[in-house]
Structure 1
Amino acid sequence: MLINTPPLYLIITPLLFQATTSGAPFWSGPKRCPDPITFDVNNELHVDYVVAAANLRASVYGIKHSRDRAAIAKVAAAVEVPKFSPKSGIKIAVTDAQLQQNSDDLDQDRVQTILSELPPPARLPNLTITPLDFEKDDDTNFHMDFIVAASNLRATNYKIAPADRHRSKLIAGKIIPAIATTTSVVAGLVCIELYKLAQGFNTLDVFKNGFVNLALPFFGFSEPIAAPTNTYYDKKWTLWDRFEVKGEITLQQFLDYFKNEHKLEITMLSQGVCMLYSFFMPKAKRQERLGLPMSEVVTRVSKKKLEPHVKALVFELCCNDEEGNDVEVPYVKYTLP
């Protein structure tokens, strides 16, 4: 199995002169700029990776393993990998905020196109895919071979001293139990609290918060604190409460609904970081939005279409009561039709 990835220098070069939000160079301090690796059939580490990765893929699809390194290397050397040419207009995330924005901009149309190109299950009646569970102590399954090769290739990228098979197995042996034991303890404590809910308990003194540190070891428990209570008119609410609006309505109908049903005048309405409506908005813009369905207002303001998996929207409100006083109210769950 050969992975067609762009040369690392083509990815790294645009970042060499980038600066963080504080103005410091991106590649500074603890950030070490990696070096690209070009596949070399004469490099044992490169062949190790291809042999392990190809055999793992073979295990998934029920294909017979091959340990003939010479034959695999010959096939790998004959593969012509298309020259990588970077796309124009691609923005590389240099901060966590930009990374989150890039993930939000995932092209769902492209995803749907790929899904439509997949053959239906009926065309592959004999295909069996077997998931692989990591087992470090079986030297015949290629699991440790892949980890050693992949981790040492990454170490080469960053000029880190490589680790031999014994040390790599030692590190892997420490990680798995740590994950498994912590996860099992947390899952067990959560299930105990769920049992209490299932049995009908509804007082806070029955439930417990758990604090666990297995390295000490330390187990501590405390009673949870009740959510703060807010009030508008004679109605009390907490962060667990919400307004619910089902079905598509216009922005004007949305405002009228809260004025007539809840005696609340909405002064500002937002969804995420987008301000959909406000009393100080220019009159022309306000009038333009009042007749639009709520979902269309969201797409116009955010300049992003609603993806197929979105079944509801969350709106935040700023409201005045009948006396003109500013009051805090729950958020709105707006269920799409």
Structure 2
Amino acid sequence: KPLCQALEEPKIKANSEELPRSRSLHTAFQALHAFRREQGHLPRPRAPADTERVLQLARSLGTQEDPLDEDIVRAFASVSAGDLCPVAAVVGALAAQEVLKAITRKFLPLNQWLYFDALECLALAGATQLTETDCAPRGSRYDGQIAVFGANFQEQLGRQKYLVVGAGAIGCELLKNFAMMGLAAGPDGELVITDMDTVALSNLHRQFLYRSADISKPKSVVAARAVQRMNRDVRVTAHQNQVGPATETLYGDNFFRHLDGVASALDTLEARAYLESCCFRCRIPLVDSGTEGLLGNVLPMVPALTEPLKPASAPGDGTFPLCTLRYFPCTIQHTLQWARDEFEGLFQLPAKHVNQFMKDPAFLEQLPAGKALEVQDSLRERPRDWRDCVCWARRHWQSRYHNDIAQLLHTFPPEHETSPGVPFWTGDRICPHPLTFNPDNDTHLDYILATAHLFAQVHRVPPCRDRKATQDILRGVVLPPFVPQERLQIPLTQEQEEAQVPMDHRQLTELTQDLLQRRQELMGDEEAQVPLMEPIHFEKDNDIHVDFITAASNLRAENYGIPPANWLMSKRIAGRIMPAIITTTAAVAGLACLEIYKLVWGCQDLSCYRNNNIFLRNCLLLRTQPLPPPTYRVGPSPW
């Protein structure tokens, strides 16, 4: 419809309960435009005469299908000259997502009118008593906010002491909003930001407080500086710590009781649950925010007023039964998780255990026999140069993609049956086939290069990325033929996989003596560095790490006839990267700040708070009243 017709015959996106409210807002906007044409300005904040004139104009329009809600029109008119950063963030995010839909031609665009309001903020006890004098302009950057909530409220905002946990995508949006709102910008205010992470290249496209020059710098420090640039009055402090059991001496009960509230911008369910438990125990308000792609949610927790936040459940945490990963993968997710476990088992844990053993030989007593064997292998296989690293990677390739599969097929041949007429290799059990190494195969060579590079890094050997030189080394490597083991037990269930066969006492004694002797030799070696090895932690933004994961996973997939994944898909799945879209984070941060307005007022009316769920794919926003906390009766009194 053209605008003139749509104004008179609006098609509004709203459910049946919200439709009358949206129609009243539609009429209120038309009356507001009529008032501005008539008076040449917007209604003055909280001016009764201007508010009543807007109401008269709304009544005269006569375009309502439902009875006009005059209270909504009055509330709308009384604050229409103001502007709030959180509302701008929500509306801006909705509009930006519609632009993206138009550009990408993905998802159904909004058809005609959508109204969003947070008029429950005006129903707060402090807001209903405001006068025109309270909301008059002061010539400050906060005049738009003062027009809505008054000057005294602005002073309250400045005195707030808040903790923001997480300076990622949501954290950046929250901090920007806080700077614009003036939270903790008064003489007694305090804003603490904590995040143990550093800025990475992959953060820059959606975490807008960071720039290329900030890569590898602490997020909290960079974010605090950005807040200061936006509003130099904000009293902000940057911490580089995780909020968890390990930091309870720093973030204990006394720390939390010093705060007025906490804003959570964490990306793991475990961390969010821990933070919620701290706030619940110390009776500190918490606003919890989260996103996943085009989905987002905001949940306020007010002690003694709302129910405690329920721990959310992840749709999939990336864990699978060990026997599935080791012997019976059937999806690319299985092979990628197997590759992640390989990375940790080859380049992180053995190096960590060797360093601890070299520091304290008594550490050996804490290790299972299998891990002690890994320490022995790591000390035996120390490379001297790049050739040794390539040879080690080649042997490992043969073990993983040929010998292990050949052994599995020896134990369970393709024609094996679990019972007469019931084949073993059926359903999710895909019968594999061993691979034959070819140095001219790109995937084979990619695996060798990445594996040898990481092995060299662990042992502090200079790496080499020359493919031709590496191929020449590989052509000279001769490996013994595979000889299957008879009567080798392969676990078929999780329980069998977890059941370990203990090493006998004689073998364990010999292993311990050998390790102690090797330690003594290395301690006397002047060229040996301390720590001896360099553990490598998987980093999704390190290309060599992703190269290994991609090649290792795709070779495993080839063993089992599973379609491979490209480099970017492997990085996303193995790095457990959740699709993060800046429009969602902006909307979620705006909704969170609307709840913080209510907390600053000290509102104890449950009907004013909202649990928020947003679905930008459909431009759908669900805002519901939180549930009260459960009550228990002890004797004659409820608790």
TM-score (norm: length of structure 2)? 0.26
Which is richer in helix? 2
TM-score (norm: length of structure 1)? 0.46
Larger-gyration structure (1/2):
2
Tell which has more relative contact order, 1 or 2 (C-alpha 8 A, sep 6+): 2
Which is richer in strand? 1
